[in-house]
Structure 1
Amino acid sequence: MPAAAALLAERHRQHRLRHPLLPAAYEDQQRALAEVTAAWESEDASGTVLRDGDEVTGYLLGAPKKSPVWGPNIWVEAAGHAVREAEHIRDLYGAAASTWVDGGRIAHYTLVPDDAALLDAWFRLAFGSQHAHAIRPVPETPIPVPAGLTVRTAVRDDIPILAQLDLTLPQHQGLSPVFSAGMLPTLQEALDEWEEDFDDPEHVTFVAESNGRVIGSSIGSSIEKGSTHSGLSQPDNAGFLGFAAVLPEARGLGAGRALGEAVLNWSAEMGYDSVVTDWRVTNLLSSRAWPALGFRQTFHRLHRLIGH
């Protein structure tokens, strides 16, 4: 475990040369050890280790998630792998995956830093890119709203359209080329959730209007309030662009960009240093909108389904 932590700390140090907004703490081997230990102690975790003589030169740890959305799965999280040489991740996976597949776990996921050699090694294991994690600094000066749009903080009277927009994103994700299998809530469930959580002080909701009609919404919070980003992928003192959606008939007016910029401006006002977001890379809208807003991809979530 200490040797694995040393590999992880070095991988993270190299990663931060490209993305200095990522948390510096995990360059320390003791902090890295806590992350490796957490991966090892995950329920039903298993994996492999690579040795060159007495020296550990790579490790791989995966564990299942209970959510049925992911299928009979194994997840290798950000702290679940590190190697001295990128090619060796293929040997580690080859040894670990036989046990996983023998146990019926055929949906494999891994969170990989944007290291070209490491990504190439995973791609040559038949993994493909599924989801992006990205970061950018907060704007130094407020970004103005485009002409023809109004962006404001949501009020309770907006709850019906906010609930409708809650359905818009998963409906879009279910279409080609995303084909997400995520559960779609009912409109009543979305309404009930907004009625209960609207006054939550830990989130801010913005709406975009065109000709006096609300056409989109976005939500900002502290990064700690999002479940997707943790450990090595969770920057210190960061805001989080957790949601944005625009009604299909209103796309093309610039509302999505304006709503994202509203969260950026809010994050700067709150004193955050950076803003994090994530998206499905097969979502053609978000995979173009957020990089255009200055977000740089830090981690790639890769996926492989065995036997098909």
Structure 2
Amino acid sequence: MGVAGRLLAERHGRHRREHPLLPAAYENPAVAVTEVAAAWEVEGASGSVLVEGGEVTGYLLGAPKPSPVWGANVWVERAGHAVRDPEKVRDLYGDAATRWFEQGLTAHYAVVPDDAGLIDAWFRLGFGSQHAHAVRAVPHTPYGEHPELLVRRATRSDVAVLAELELVLPQHQGLSPVFSAGEVGTLEEALAEWEEDIDDRSYTTFVAEYNGRVVGMSVGCSLEKSSAHSGLARPDNAAFLSFAAVFPDARGIGAGRALGEAVLNWAAEVGYDCVVTDWRVTNLLSSRAWPSLGFVQTFHRLHRLLGH
């Protein structure tokens, strides 16, 4: 396990040279090994180790997630692999995937750092990009206002429209070219959640008005609220752009960008150093909006469905 920790610490050090906002602590093998141990302790975890000349030079670990949304799956999470030579990921996966396929686990996911060699190796295993994790520093100068839009904090009087907007994103994700299998809740469920959550001070919600009508919303919070951005992917003192949606008939007027800027301005005002967000890469709206606001991809969630 200690050798795996050193390999992961080396990988993270290389990763941070390109993305210095990522947490420095995991460049220490004694810290990195805790992430490897956590990956190994997940129920059903298995994998492969590469030994060359009597030395361990790579490892790969994966485990299933008990959720029907992901299919009969196995996940290689952020700390799930590290190699000296990126090409050897292909050998490690070839060995581990033999057993996963025999177990009937045919939907494979891998969360891979933004490293060209590793991405190329995974792509040549038949994986494609599905989801992006990204970060940017908070703005040094606040973004200005948009004259045609009023962006303000949400209030209890906005609960009904917030509930409607809550459904807009999953509905959009179910369409082409995303085709997400995620469930879309009911308006009644969304209303009940917003009635309870509107006063939760750990989340900051903004709405955008156009001609007196609320057309979109965004939500900011501490990144610690997100289990999807932990460990190696959790920068120090980071905020999280956790949600944003604009009604379809109001797209194209700049509301999404204004709402993203509002979260960035808020994060700077309250003292965060950076902001993290994520998006489906097949979502044509968010995959263009967030990079245009300066978010730089740090991790790639890749996907492969066996037998097709």
Give the TM-score, by structure 2 length. Answer: 0.99
- Render the CA deviation track for 1:116-157: whole Å, top value 9, x for unaligned: 111000000000000000000000111012220010000001
Large movers: runs of 4+ above 2 Å:
none
Distance 1:210 1:145 in 2: 13
5 Å-filtered alignment, 1:57-206, equals: 57-206=57-206
1:225-244 superposed matches below 5 A: 225-244=225-244
The separation in 1 between residues aligned to 2:145 and 2:277, in whole angstroms, is 20
- The residue that corresponds to 2:252 in the other structure is 252
Give the Cα–Cα distance (whole angstroms) in 2 for the partners of residues 223 and 255 of structure 1: 23
Partner of 2:39: 39
Structure 1: distance between partners of 2:74 and 2:294: 32
Q: Which amino acid letter does the alignment assign opposite residue 54 of structure 1?
A: G
Find the residue that maps to 1:215 and give its secondary structure. strand
Return the offset for 1:227: 2.3
> Which letter does structure 2 place at the counterpart of 1:9?
A
Aligned to 2:306: 306
2:28 is aligned to: 28
Q: SS of the counterpart of 1:243? A: strand
What letter corresponds to residue 144 of structure 1 in structure 2? G
Distance 1:53 1:238 in 2: 42
**Shift of the alpha carbon at 1:233?**
0.5
Tell me which residue corresponds to 1:279. Answer: 279
Q: Secondary structure at the match of 2:290?
A: helix
Give distance in 2, aligned partners of 1:49 and 1:198: 48
1:57 is displaced (CA, Å) by 0.3
Aligned-pair distance for 1:201?
1.2
SS of match in other structure, 1:39:
helix
Residue 86 of structure 2 aligns to a residue whose secondary structure is coil
**What value does the CA root-mean-square deviation take over the aligned residues?**
0.6
Q: Structure 2 CA distance, aligned partners of 1:32 and 1:66?
A: 26
Q: Can you list the C-alpha shifts for 1:144-180, whole angstroms capped at 9, x where unaligned?
A: 1222001000000101100000000001000000000
Aligned equivalents of 2:249, 2:184: Cα separation in 1: 20
Deviation at 1:67, TM superposition (A): 1.3
**Deviation of residue 228 (structure 1)?**
1.4
1:198 offset after TM fit, Å? 1.3
Partner of 2:218: 218
Aligned partner of 1:168: which letter?
V
1:7 and 1:204 map into 2 onto residues whose CA distance is: 39
Q: Distance in 1 between matches of 2:141 and 2:155?
A: 26
Render the CA deviation track for 1:242-277: whole Å, top value 9, x for unaligned.
000000000000000000000000100110000000
CA distance in 2 between counterparts of 1:253 and 1:213 reads 13
Q: CA deviation at 1:181?
A: 0.5
Deviations 1:159-214 (A, max 9, x none): 11000000000010000000000010000000011111111111000000001100
Q: How far apart, CA to CA, are the structure 2 residues paired with 1:145 and 1:185?
A: 33
List runs of 5+ in structure 2 lacking aligned partners: none
**One-letter amino acid of the structure 1 residue matched with residue 289 of structure 2:** A
Aligned length: 308
Cross-structure match for 2:269: 269
After superposition, the C-alpha distances for 1:71-129 in whole angstroms (9 at most, x for unaligned) are 11000001000000000000000000010110011000000011111100000000000
What do residues 3-51 of structure 1 show as CA deviations (whole Å, max 9, x unaligned)?
Answer: 1111100000000000100000000001100000000111110000000
Percent sequence identity over aligned pairs: 70
- TM-score, normalised via structure 1 length: 0.99
Cα distance in 2 for residues equivalent to 1:156 and 1:100: 49
